[in-house]
Amino acid sequence: MRKLVLATDNKNKVNEIKDILSDLPIEILSKDEIGLEDLKVIEDGETLIDNSLKKAREISKYTDYLVVADDTGLFVEKLNGEPGVYSSRYAGEDGNDKKNVELLLKKLNGEESNAYFETVICLITEDKKEFIASGRCFGKVLTTVRGENGFGYDPIFQPDGFDKTFAELGSKQKNEISHRRKAIENLREILIKLLGDENENTCGK
């Protein structure tokens, strides 16, 4: 069975990806499981694609398995797309989720704004071909925090079609509609095509 290494150490992300790809003939491994737990990649790119490619390429130097890396940002319309690729360190390198949310609300100055989360996933194959998958979840940023679940900007983000924030919805419902879910579904389509193409190419040989 083919093996696929994930760049993330985050157990929730690993489980979510394993779950969505569970019916494919691919064994999913975390980078710790192939002895790369000390490998840290600085995310200093200007786009989500830059960062996910950088992470995947770095890991792919050390393995010939499939490699997958992701990067996510929140893009707020009234702030011209901020915090975007800087979402995790919006309030500075020593910031945290609470400080990031506070800064965002301060910049919005009491106004709501349309916004979307975007996740980009980069896949590098055993023969170093690169593919990009992505997913977006549209909604709006509210003026105050609501809800206890989740992380990051979940307490201020209300997805379209819901009257609750991601932090009020809970992980099960959030994971059904999230940007990450859509990006992983897109990755799944790419992997299915890749597996299919290779079966076709080897047929009868």
Q: Which residues are catalytic?
A: 71
Stated as kind and residue range, the H or E segment containing 72 is strand 66-76
Tell me: does residue 134 bind ligand IMP (CB under 6 A).
no
Using CB atoms, what's the residue nearest to ligand IMP?
152
Roughly what angle, to the nearest 10 degrees, separates helices 11-20 and 179-202? 50
75-111 b/e (C-beta count within 10 Å ≥ 16 → b): bbebbeebbbbebbebbeeeeebeebbbbbbeebeee
Pick one of 118, 153, 159, 194: the residue that binds ligand IMP (CB under 6 A): 153
Tell me: does residue 30 bind ligand IMP (CB under 6 A).
no
Tell me: does residue 158 bind ligand IMP (CB under 6 A).
no
Q: Which residues from 93-112 bind ligand IMP, rule CB under 6 A?
A: 97, 100
Least Å distance, CB 10 to ligand IMP, is 7
Q: Which of the ranges 68-76, 108-116, 183-191, 193-201 carries the binding residues for ligand IMP, by CB under 6 A?
A: 68-76
**Helices marked H in 61-111 — which ranges?**
97-108
Pick one of 30, 87, 125, 158: the residue that binds ligand IMP (CB under 6 A): 87
Query: Two tokens at 204?
Result: 């009868």
CA-closest candidate to residue 97, choices 135, 146, 171, 150: 150
User: Which residues of the shown chain bind ligand IMP in the complex (CB under 6 A)?
Assistant: 71-74, 87-88, 97, 100, 117, 150-154, 166, 178
